[in-house]
Amino acid sequence: MDEFLIEAKPAVQLALKEDIGSGDATTLATIPADRQAKGRFLAKSSGTIAGLEVVELTYSLLQDWEAKSSNEGTGQPFQFCPYVGDGERVAAGTVVASASGSAQILLTAERVALNFVQRMSGIATLTRSYVEAVLGTKAVILDTRKTAPGLRVFDKRAVMLGGGMNHRFGLFDMALVKDNHIAAAGGITAAVAGIRGRYEGLEIEVEVSDLAQLEEALALDVDRILLDNMTPEQIGEAVAITAGHTPLEASGGIGLENVAAVAATGVDYISVGALTHSVPALDVSFDLEIVV
C-alpha cells in the first residue's frame, strides 16, 4: 500500500463507520448474504478521473471488516478492475471501472466510494481547466489549505492528478506570514526574524498587499513572496521589481476568467482556493449489472 493510501485509510474507515453504523438496513433485509454481483462505475459527465484507488480501498476495507465480524464470510473475494488511470480524462458515458463480489458489500460501500471518487474527480477536472488556461507560461497552479476538514489528503491528491501542484500541506511544513501575522508581530521584518529564530531551515513565504511591502520582503531574502489580491498590472510591476530574485505567487480573486492574464505577467505560481473549497463533484454512478 503506497503512502497516500496509508494516510487515506483512517478517513475511509471513518466514512464507512459513519454511513453504516449498526448495519445497512435496506441491504441486509433485501439481499441474501451469499448473493454475488457485478457492477460498473460510469462517468456520466466528461472530466478527469481521480480516486479510483480510493474506491478499491473502500471496498477492500469493508470486505475485511465483514470477514472479521461474520463467521459466514462474504462469498467470492472482492475484485476491482479500473479501465482508466487516475488522472486520465474521459468522455461522458465512459465506464471507468468494474467491481465484483458480495452484493451486500457492493451496495453497502457504494455511497462512500462514490463520494470520494466524485469529489476527487471534480477537483481534478477543475484543476485541469486551470492548468490548461496557463499553458505557454511558466506559472504553476497551486492548491491552498481551503480543503474539506478531514479530507485534505484526498483533495491535494486530486489536485496533483489534475496537473496542479500542492502548496504547503498544513501549518507545520512551511511558514506563511499573512496580514494578521504581520499586524500581530509588529511588521514583516519582525515576523520573519521570529520564525528564523525558532525554526531553522523552515521555508518562509511572506504575503504582501502592496509594492512597499514587496520591497521589505525582498530585502529579507525569504523563499517566496505571495502577492495578495493584486491586479495583473500590479503583479506585472512586482515581477519587474523582483527581477527573478525571489519566486512570486499570485493569489486572491483569481478565476478561470482571468487566470491567463495573471499567468502572462510572468509570475511563478498561482494559488487558487476554488480548486478545493467549493468544487462541483463530477457525476459518476455505480450500476449493478449482474446478480447471481
Catalytically active residues are 111, 146, 178, 207, 228
Q: What type of residue is 108? A: T
SS3 97: strand
Could you tell me whether strands 140-142 and 47-48 are parallel, antiparallel, or unpaired per DSSP bridges? unpaired
SS (H, E, C) 36-70: EEEEEEEECCCEECCCHHHHHHHHHHHHHHHHHHC
Cell numbers standing for residue 223: 523563499
Cell numbers standing for residue 120: 476527487
Max Cα distance, the chain (Å): 72
- Say if residue 197 is exposed, middle or buried (CB neighbours under 10 Å; 0-12, 13-18, 19+): exposed
Q: What type of residue is 168? A: R
Q: How far apart are CA 114 and CA 120, in angstroms?
A: 10
**Chain position carrying cell 505560481:** 269
For residues 194 and 200, the answer to whether their CB atoms sit within 8 Å is: no
Provide the sign of the torsion angle of the four alpha carbons 148, 154, 157, 161, taken in this order: negative
CA 167 to chain centre: 11
